[in-house]
Structure 1
């Protein structure tokens, strides 16, 4: 996957619009009843960063970022300010935030994940782009300051020694969303004072 490990400017991403999208097929029967089927097992996030542009300098930064990514060709990191931590927005990540696996005495590599739960239902999201220096790990509720490493390009945590059988493996972290531009053209408008704007700059989450 063509990807640049660089993050979209944070000061612009603060003002974007967007969030998760799902694909559901809805068929209305002759009786008026519905049948619904999920086309996608996982959600996919869409954003429009045009709403984050407030100054001419912001516009210039976005154009430069777009050109450096060759439009839709290269993916990049994006901070979703509405959802970028393993914990609640008001909290700081801790080593016991998310259960990412259970030791079996053999397995040493575990994928970072985030669980979304409401009532009895839940969905698990794989986290592929943790922020460097933000990951904390615990075994059986005890934080582990060493004895492991994390690949910040894949979100895979590798332990030096396989966790013992039955031990809960938990993690806390901040993370970015892997995205790409969903357009190969930027339609820039300049007003009389030469302040620029762009109607829409769509971003689309990259799923493998």
Structure 2
């Protein structure tokens, strides 16, 4: 997939709106009961940015970023300020935040994930979201609650895959804490701006959509 490993500057995202969308197919039977199904295993995030920009300098910066991505052609990193860490909002990521898996004595590779809901509360409840764009240098790792030094593992910041120098023993729990970006692309091939004075203007909201990488 065409993707640029660059992050949209945070100042250009202030005042953004967005959230998660799902796709659910519902069939109502003659009895009144419903059959519900979703073709999507994961939700997809959408955002609107740029509507609060007034500085011509900031609008020029967003235009330059848009042009460098060739509009919708290339994806990029986006900091979703409502969901960008392994911990609760306002907290500091710790090595025990998210369980990545259980060692079997031979497996040394563990993809980063973030859990939503309560996986143990019942069938179909809880979800693990793959984290494919961790912030470089932010990942903290632990095996059975004991922190692993930086020399004991490596992280591919472009895929979110963690590789330990030694495979964890059978039954040991591998966990991690981290910061991450959401991979997105522009969902329009056009920017619209209005000049309101010599040094100020107004920009129409620019849509972003999450991409699978």
| TM-score scaled by length of structure 2 | 0.91
Q: Does the residue aligned with 1:35 lie in a helix, a strand or coil?
A: strand
CA RMSD of aligned residues (A): 1.7
CA offset digits 1:139-163 (Å, max 9, x no partner): 0000111310000000000011111
- In the alignment, the residues of structure 2 paired with residue 114 and residue 52 of structure 1 have an alpha-carbon distance, to the nearest angstrom, of 30
Q: Is the 8 A contact 2:51 2:202 kept in 1?
A: no
- Following superposition, the deviation at residue 30 of structure 1 comes to 4.7
Contact 2:54 2:203 in 1 (8 A): no
1:179 to 184, 204, 209: 184
| Residue of structure 2 equivalent to 1:64 | 64
Aligned twin of 2:140 = 136
The 2-side partners of 1:77 and 1:11 are apart by 14
C-alpha spacing 1:54/1:87, structure 2 compared with 1 (3 Å): farther
Query: Residue by residue, what CA displacement relative to the aligned partner does 1:69-114 show, whole Å, maximum 9, x if unpaired?
Result: 1111111100000000000012100000000011111111110000
Match 1:203 to one of 176, 185, 208: 208
Q: For residues 161-185 of structure 1, give each alpha carbon's deviation from its aligned partner in whole angstroms, at most 9, with x where no partner exists.
A: 1111110000000000011111111
Instruction: Give the aligned partner of residue 4 of structure 1.
Output: 4
Q: 1:170 aligns with which of 170, 175, 184?
A: 175
Q: How many angstroms does 1:31 deviate by? A: 5.0
- Normalising by structure 1, we get a TM-score of 0.94
Change over 3 Å in CA distance of 1:97–1:52 after alignment to 2: farther
Which is further off, 198-207 or 107-116?
198-207
Counterpart position of 2:91: 91
**Mean alpha-carbon deviation: is it higher for 49-58 or for 170-179?**
49-58
Once structures 1 and 2 are overlaid, which stretch shifts more, 46-55 or 179-188?
A: 46-55
Distance, in Å, in 1 between the alignment partners of 2:54 and 2:34 is: 44
Q: Distance in 1 between matches of 2:53 and 2:10?
A: 11
**Selected match of 1:151 from 152, 156, 170:** 156
Contact conserved, 1:78 with 1:178, CA < 8 A, in 2? yes
Does the aligned pair in 2 maintain the 1:17–1:51 contact within 8 Å?
no
Contact 1:13 1:81 in 2 (8 A): no
**Within 5 A, what are the aligned runs for 1:95-110?**
95-110=95-110
Q: Which residue of 1 aligns with 2:127?
A: 123
